[in-house]
Structure 1
Amino acid sequence: MNDMLEQAFQVQAGNVALASGGIDSADNYKKRQTVSDSVTYANLEVAKDHRNKTSLRQFKDDRYYKYPIIGTNLSTLGEYGVGLELYFQFIKQFAIIFFIISGISIWPIYENYQGNYLADTAQKASYTFISLANQEGPEFNYTLYSEADSMLDTVKDNQMNITIADLIYTCFFIIFLVYLEIYVKRIIKKRRLMTVTPGSFAVEAKGFPKEPLSAQEVKDHFSQFGEVAEVAFAKDFSGRLFFYSKRAQISIKIGHEKLKNKNTLQLRNLQRQMSIFDRKLYKADNGNVKTFNELPVIRAFIIFNKVEDKKNCLKEYKNSYIECCCCRKMKKHLMFRGKHELKVKQAPEPSNILWENIEYPRWKRNARRIFAIAPTLALMILSIALIYAIKYLQNEIPNENHCSELDVKDESLSAAKQDYTTNDQIYCYCKQQNWYKLFSDSDLNSYCTDYIEKVSLTSSVRFLSSIGIVFINTILRIMLTKLTKFERISTVSGMRMSMMSKVFIAMFINTALITLLVNANFQSLWFVQRLAFKEYLFNGDYKDFSREWYEDVGATIIATLLVSIALPHFINLLIFYPIGVIKRHCCHKKYITQYQMNAAFTGPEFDISSRTSVILTVIFSCYLYSGGIPLLNIVCFVTLVVIYWTDKFLVLRHYRKPPVYSELMYKRVGYFLPFGIMLHCGFSLYMYGSQDIFPREYVPYTDSDTGETYIEDVRTETIGDRIWVFPGRVNIILCGISFLIFVWQFFLKDFLKSKHKNQVLTERAERTYMEELKNLRAIGIHSYNIMENPSYAPLVISMNSTAEQTKKMGASAINNTVEIASKDAKEIISDGQGTN
């Protein structure tokens, strides 16, 4: 029985861990069948070589060299996938356009600064002096009607100047979008001509029968188009591959324990876990556990020896149907076995395939996508609660309108103590004082103590809430990453594209819009009146972008943007990167197995989707409010420069080598960008139409005591009134142009492309696949054989060995291994207790 147990444990224990710590060749996998063969003692030189192979390194004269940070151009990064090159080109090009926009923004910043409306209110946040809040204008209830009326021409000129500056840089942005599409298309075409990958020679086919299928039969079918170098199958794992990855981890742990040469409780428990795992798989498959070759085929990947042969294949299948008696039928020579219609398309790169997800149909992916909505909304609600907490604290301090109603004047302190006794009156009086005076004058400080405490608390909570929003953004990013993986998308690029879209939309709403909506007052709108909980929704303090909005809500938004911009990059650069260096240089002696040491020497994954979503969030959030706060354009430019150099440094020195990303993600980015302009134009239209800042007509009132006529308010305007003035017309036109760009990108261009479905990509390869094979091996995964993929090969070996062993042993033997392992574990525990 013990011999049988040991035999079972050897098979169950292993064949999974890699001699080089997780990344090894297929040949080595085939030679190693147990943990004792595959798990080895740690070797520092092997780990260093492993790091060089799994990082972005230049291989020259049989040695690896680090790429220079500054000297490495983006076309060099493009050799590792067009998606990686497009990522850095995306940041670089946007940094250039925002450099231009920042230069133009100096004009409205100067115009705002010259307004001097806030000159006497020194407690305002510094940025408000260069926002629309500082535009020249009269003070209600204090400015004579005749004086205010004479200021209207100046106000109109200022509005015109601000609008023209916005028009100029928005036109630059629109021109840039058109240029960017042409530029990206040129990069993609150039990369396809310069770079030869396995995908350059390969097609993907589906529609094969469920019965057993041989690679030779598929090869014979596709040989009609030219020489076939390789045929590889994607199999229906029925969701088992994920479980085999868990089994592989247990196997690695068993190998680690065996290297200690001790029959420990930990080892027996791991062996028992492995036996239970196999028993569950045995029962789930009703005793018919299959090897990889016995699983049904769902896709085939065919590599032709020549690119031209692949092109011929795609052309043939593009025109594969003929019209016959009002029905469409595939040409017989293109049908597999003369009766099975095949769907053939360009194959993704082998490193881009998620083999465990190919088996999932689209309806299952959509169902899983819907499931992801609930937890996302829960986090959004938490973010809204944070903003409401700030709003509650700020409501304890009266706003400008309330202070105006109380008629609190800036008089001497002795007079104020007699005239203003309520909290609101004291707050309004203290609000008019200079910060320096508040802290230097002990009498004034004593009188305003409660006010100073409230303002300090509000500022602290505002800053902490900004950190809280950034923290929620981080949780959103992690959660949506997990949920996107749960969707089971079949390619890494597709998964990254979906992940980027979800994370960007969630982060943008959380960063830029929730604060705005919580503080907005839409109670007068008809649809709000019909809501069930209307008294709790959209009941904020601001019906418009007033001067006080910039001081209150604008300050919160800017604080959130600055924290979200700075914090993640400094964490990556100043914390995680040094930790990685320390693990490799100072802690390598503590690792026992090569697997452990290689894991420490392997850089973290470069999450290109999350990074792209962060960049889009920065661009959209800054540009959204830049009409009223032009400083945000400069903030966006500086942020993009920081992101570019931080990520370039970390990609070349810290992260592991990414898979070969396609251009899909940046096509999706192209769909989003016109909405950024449309949102900016919509917000600018409303900001430039604010009657509090750019009034067109005043409501007068006559003081009964003095007989003087003052301005009491401005004439209320509808959204239609704002549209028909110059700023409104300009922004509507710009918004329309942006919408046409989106229609072209999303509908017309894709519609025209659909007319040429399965069109042959512009590719060039003067050498054949077999001649390029050595170079393809050096770059990365060169084959569609799943055994050549180091992430999946150990799982397939584990699957095969489990299937073969369970067939030999049967269910009773598997149950016995579990019982014996449990008994041995109990004996070890009792022996340990007896010794003690």
Structure 2
Amino acid sequence: MSKIVPLPIKSSAIIIKEQEDDIRPSDPVKANQYMLQNMFFKQDETGHPIPYEFTVGLDEFKKHGLGLYLYFKFLECTIYVFLVMSIIASVICYFNSTGNGLDAWKNLNLLQKLSVGNQEKIKSSTGTEYTTSDIQDFYNNSQTWLSTLTWMDFSYTLIFILFYLAFSYWSNREIKESMVKEKVPANFSLGIKGLREDERDPNKLKGFIEDLGFKVKEVKLAKNYSNTLLLHKQEAELKILIKGEDIKAQFPDYDPAVKQKYMKQLLEIQAERETIIKNIIGKRLRHDEYPTLMAFVIFERIGDKNLFIKEYKANTNYSVFQTFCCGKKVDDKYLFRGNVLQIIPQVDNPSNINWENLEVSSSNRFLRQILVGFGVFCLMIITFFIVFAINVVSKYSPEDCEIRDYTYENTQKWISEATTASDKTQIQQCFCMNLSLTTLYADYFNYCSDIVYQYTGIQALQIVSAFVILIVNSLLQLLIKSIVIFERYQSLSKKLSGTLTKLFISLFVNTALITLILKANIYGFKLSYYLSSPIPPLQSAQQKEVFPSDFNREWYAVVGAAYVNTWIINIFSPYFVDFVLYPIKNWLRKREALTAKIQRDLNRLSVGPEFNLDLYYANLLNTIFVTLFYSSLIPLMLPLGFFALAMHFLVQKFLLLKYYRKPPSYDEALHDSVFTLLPYSIIMHILIAIWAYGHPYLFPSSSDALVENGGLLDVSKDSIWIRISNSSQLSILGVLFVIIMVIKYFFINPLAYLVKICCDNQAVIVDFAQEETYDQIYDQISSIQLATYEIRENENYKDLVYSLDSDQRSPTQRKSEEERVPLQDI
């Protein structure tokens, strides 16, 4: 049997007589009924809705959609996995904190000492020069710690890989069990293309299939509306808004400009529709007169459907060899009006279909996706330079201070001996940076005031930049969700998956990659300097900047420590704001509801906002990716990631139960998209780890590579191959994981497909006496979602179809009867 999954539907509560209530004067009783139906409640013994307790188990979420259950289950399991990984990372943080590699930046940021850059520097046994013994001891110690570090990283990376594989297996099993237990229309249905456009009678196709020996429940035809249905959809919503304005006009504080705006938009849509009818369709058509696009067939039993697919394909899908060499041809009984039909085994549930988008061809949708992708890319470029500029403005690159005895007397002596103003400023800065905060403010505040103000200003700018990034990401999310509509997805699940991918990529670039690019200096190649060349002010600002090399000690002190501060704000502030502001938003919403004049507004204000699963999945995925991306450089990222995920889980669960409106019954489409992207987080983590642990400035590949450099020990630049060999454990793990992915996608999946084809060729035995019929489970299905592909019974479209048919009236009739046309809020 082909894979058929329960797809997301519009909650049955959302469609309770909206067309009757939306454009009437507000009624608190109806609003309360609407609230009880649309909030995330359960039913008590008497059938009345009651709120869930916060301690409710996640299994209860399964009743509201497999996708919602998989989301919270994945989040819960990820928290436990990150807890174990954080324990290992905490050991690394402790040993990093015992080093002295970043003593020159003592008071820059306390978090810097937890990074890998704080590894021990070489120590001189004589106090002035480095002996051969000093060099050998430093090399031996660095290799010992490098081995320990890579093995620890190997351990928690392997734990995450095993978690990924185990959860993939478990979730696939849950999905398959759900397919068996949860009967949905798509289980019994298939799509058929290849019909003639003038096909009008679905009963002919039903009779054709039944003549082949298969029982059919119903056949419904989908039409090609040439975009008129989409325009009717927009027209209907505008009419609802205009009727609502007519009711509001009875009150003294009414603003007529709002209705005028709606009327202008309505006239534009109607003019566009008339143009399509005149130039493309030629004349006004009733709904059933539009060209037929495809058919949806619901069989009486799932076995009927599967047998029909096998038999029809076996007798019509002949290869070229079978046709020309063996002389096989299609039997006339398998031809419908002289044509071989194209079978689509997997279709969406009726409630999940965007009927107005079915007419968009694959090539047209591909072009739309290219345009949307280009638009998202342009948005990301704009936000990239906004975030880029903020980071450049808030930069801070202190000079590397020599390790000296920075007493006040010594400092004054060194300043008097310095020959340049910059050297004098640097010595004063180093003295002030090495003071404790207590001593600084008690004894030397006046002397260090300029440096204190500079440092405080830089820290404030970094905090502001973090919030700017947060605001930019929020605006980008709104823009992406808006332009994705242009892609004209055929179903809600595909639209959500496309939105998720675009949201995640934009978040990851803004929060992780920009910071890395800003200070990147890979063997002299400064990417940010070249990217800022079109904007001279940005480039000139960076000319004064000393770019840290890739992951040397200065990078950890300047970039890494500052990034931790920024990341803390970015990962915690959204959830903190949601949790803290939710009672205020709730109060404001209820207060606004007291002044609502029409039922549409009162209903909207009686429930919370939408639970945007695609947005929350994107934020969750971004947290995992960024945490793993930087965890090798800054092990503290793993404990921070653990706390972020824990807060994400607690806040989202609480708000879902107490604040958000009931979400649609999501399927596993978003979960599948996430697990398609997740392996890249592991690959990027391993690549960054190999590059960081192989850095010759921290972990020289040999004692011979050590050289004298201005009185301080430094190392020569090693080759990329030496970097890989320095992190041999992680290199091997990375190769093994890539091999696993290659085997999975290029061998196991194709092999499973071949096995499926071979099994499909075997005879299928169906016990029709034991199998439930569609009629037997119809009441159960219809109580949850739409159970037919008849568009006239779809709450979202039935009034639009009526409106299509009502266009057959004369202009005079339409004008006089306009107010009686039933309307539907989309």
TM-score (norm 1): 0.83
Preserved CA contact (<8 Å) 1:54 1:657: yes
Partner of 1:822: none
Partner of 1:221: 208
Whole-Å separation in 1 of the counterparts to 2:610 and 2:782:
21
Find the counterpart in structure 1 of residue 197 from structure 2.
Answer: 210
CA contact (8 A) 1:111 1:158 kept: no
Match in the other structure for 2:8:
none
Aligned to 1:430: 429
Return the offset for 1:311: 2.6
Matched letter for residue 134 of structure 2 = E
Q: Separation in 2 of the partners of 1:740 and 1:762?
A: 39
SS in 2 for 1:804: coil
Aligned residues with identical type, % of pairs: 25
User: Are the structure 2 counterparts of residues 567 and 241 from structure 1 closer, same or farther at C-alpha, using a change threshold of 3 Å?
Assistant: farther
1:12 corresponds to: none
Shift of 1:786: 2.5
> Following the alignment from structure 1 to structure 2, what is the Cα–Cα distance between the partners of residues 428 and 384?
36
Partner residue of 1:164 out of 137, 151, 154: 151
1:674-689 to structure 2, matched below 5 A, reads: 674-689=679-694
Q: Is the 8 A contact 2:300 2:773 kept in 1?
A: yes
- Answer whether contact 2:22 2:600 (CA < 8 A) is retained: no
- Structure-to-structure mapping, 1:404-423, within 5 angstroms: 412=409, 413-420=411-418, 422-423=421-422
Once superposed, what is the RMSD of the aligned Cα atoms? 3.9
Deviations 1:553-607 (A, max 9, x none): 11333233222212222333333565246534x4434223222222223443222
In structure 2, how many angstroms separate the alpha carbons of the residues matched to 1:341 and 1:387? 54
Cα drift, residue 259 of structure 1: 4.1
Q: Per-residue deviation at 1:87?
A: 1.4
Cα deviation 1:206-234 (Å, max 9, x = unaligned): 22211142222232233345432333332
CA distance in 1 between partners of 2:562 and 2:633 (Å): 15
Task: Determine whether 1:307 maps to 2:305.
Answer: no
CA 203–388 in structure 1, closer or farther in 2 if over 3 Å, else same = closer
CA apart distance, 1:114: 2.4
What residue in structure 2 maps to residue 662 of structure 1? 667
Aligned to 2:677: 672
Q: 1:671 to 1:230 in 2, by over 3 A?
A: same
Once structures 1 and 2 are overlaid, which stretch shifts more, 86-95 or 260-269?
260-269
Shift of 1:511: 1.0
Cα distance in 1 for residues equivalent to 2:328 and 2:679: 40
Report if the CA contact (8 A) 2:216-2:298 is conserved.
Answer: yes
Whether the 8 Å CA contact 2:388–2:514 is kept in 1: the answer is no
CA distance, structure 1, for counterparts of residue 331 and residue 576 of structure 2: 60
Q: Which residue is equivalent to 2:504?
A: 504
Instruction: Decide which of 226, 249, 252 is 1:238's aligned counterpart.
Output: 226
Residue 758 to residue 204, structure 1, CA distance change in 2 (3 Å) = farther
More displaced, 411-420 or 488-497?
A: 411-420
C-alpha deviation, 1:647, in angstroms: 2.0
Q: What corresponds to 2:113 in structure 1? A: 129
Change (3 A) 1:645 1:809: same
For the residues of structure 2 that align with 1:769 and 1:68, how far apart are their CA atoms?
A: 33
Mapping of residues 571-590 of structure 1, within 5 Å: 571-576=577-582, 578-580=584-586, 582-584=588-590, 586-590=591-595
Does residue 102 of structure 1 match 2:103?
no
Task: For 2:346 and 2:478, locate their aligned partners in 1 and report how far apart those are by CA, in whole Å.
Answer: 32
Q: Give the letter for the 2:809 counterpart.
A: Q
Name which of 312, 317, 320 aligns with 1:321.
317
Using the TM superposition, give the Cα deviation of residue 386 of structure 1 relative to its aligned residue in structure 2, in angstroms.
4.7
1:557 maps to amino acid? Y
CA distance in 1: counterparts of 2:657 and 2:308, whole angstroms = 39
The change in CA–CA distance for 1:366 and 1:57 in structure 2 (over 3 A counts) is same
Pick from 140, 149, 155: which aligns with 2:136? 149
Which segments of 5 or more consecutive residues in structure 2 lack a partner in the other structure?
Answer: 1-11, 819-826
Question: Shift of the alpha carbon at 1:497?
Answer: 1.2
Give the letter aligned to residue 734 of structure 1. Answer: L
Say if 1:228 and 1:303, in contact at 8 Å, map to a contact too.
Answer: yes
Whether 1:248 aligns to 2:254 is: no
Equivalent residue, structure 2, for 1:823 = none
Secondary structure at 1:598 match in 2: helix
| Counterpart AA for 1:722 | R
Partner SS state of residue 498, structure 1:
helix
Counterpart of 1:736 in structure 2 is 735
Equivalent position of 1:82 in the other structure: 66
Which consecutive residues of structure 1, in runs of 5 or more, have no partner in the other structure? 1-19, 704-709, 818-836
Aligned: 1:372 with 2:372? yes
**In 2 relative to 1, CA 527–128 (structure 1 residues): closer, same or farther, beyond 3 Å?**
closer
Distance 1:612 1:22, change over 3 A: closer
**What is the Cα deviation at residue 541 of structure 1?**
0.8
Task: Identify the match of residue 563 of structure 2 among 534, 557, 560.
Answer: 557
Structure-1 separation of matches of 2:209 and 2:583? 49
Deviation at 1:461, TM superposition (A): 1.6
Q: Find the aligned partners of 1:182 and 1:597 in 2 and give their Cα distance.
A: 45
Tell whether 2:444 aligns with 1:448.
Answer: no
**SS, match of residue 220 in structure 2:** strand
Deviation at 1:107, TM superposition (A): 2.0
Structure 1 pair 660–162 and aligned structure 2 pair: CA distance change class (3 A): same
Match of 1:783 in 2: 788
- 1:591 & 1:808 partners in 2: Cα distance? 35
Do the aligned partners of 1:426 and 1:448 also contact (CA within 8 Å) in 2? no
Q: What's 1:821 paired with? A: none
1:644 CA displacement: 1.8
- 1: distance between equivalents of 2:381 and 2:135? 44
Q: Partner amino acid for 1:716?
A: K
> How far did residue 373 of structure 1 move?
3.7
Return the offset for 1:385. Answer: 3.5
In structure 2, C-alpha distance between the alignment counterparts of 1:702 and 1:162, rounded to whole Å: 27
Matched, 1:693 2:698: yes
Q: Aligned residue for 2:34?
A: 50
| Secondary structure of 2:808 counterpart | helix
Q: 1:179 to 1:346 in 2, by over 3 A?
A: same
**CA offsets per residue over residues 253-281 of structure 1, 9 Å max, x none?**
33334446869967985668656654543
Q: Following TM superposition, by how much is the alpha carbon of 1:384 offset from its aligned partner in structure 2, in angstroms?
A: 4.1
In the alignment, structure 1 residue 176 sits paired with structure 2 residue 163: yes
2:776 match: 771
Structure 1 residues 724 and 528: CA distance shift in structure 2, 3 A: farther
Deviations 1:404-451 (A, max 9, x none): 5x9996663432452456245323432342241563255x33333332
Q: Which moved more, 1:516-525 or 1:273-282?
A: 273-282
Tell me, yes or no, if the aligned pair for 1:352 and 1:661 is still in contact at 8 Å. no
Deviations 1:516-544 (A, max 9, x none): 01211136469999999699699971222
Range moving further from structure 2, 315-324 or 84-93: 315-324
For 1:15-34, list aligned pairs within 5 A: 23-24=15-16
Q: Which moved more, 1:167-176 or 1:644-653?
A: 644-653
Distance 1:798 1:342, change over 3 A: same
How many Å separate the matches in 2 of 1:759 and 1:644?
Answer: 42
Q: Does 1:804 align with 2:791?
A: no
Give the structure 1 partner of residue 486 of structure 2: 486
Question: Paired residue for 1:284, among 276, 281, 293?
Answer: 276
- Closer/same/farther in 2, CA of residues 203 and 285 from structure 1, 3 Å limit: same
* 1-structure distance, mates of 2:214, 2:40: 35
Shift of 1:340: 4.0
Cα deviations across residues 319-361 of structure 1 (Å, max 9, x unaligned)?
Answer: 3413321599666444433424222212212222222211111
Matched AA of 1:302: V
Q: What SS does the corresponding residue of 1:346 show, helix, strand or coil?
A: coil
Query: TM-score under structure 2 normalisation?
Result: 0.84
SS in 1 for 2:15: coil
Q: Secondary structure at the match of 2:298?
A: strand
SS in 1 for 2:345: strand
For 2:627 and 2:398, how far apart are their aligned partners in 1?
Answer: 29
Structure 1 window deviating more from structure 2 (213-222 vs 160-169): it is 213-222
Does residue 569 of structure 1 match 2:575?
yes
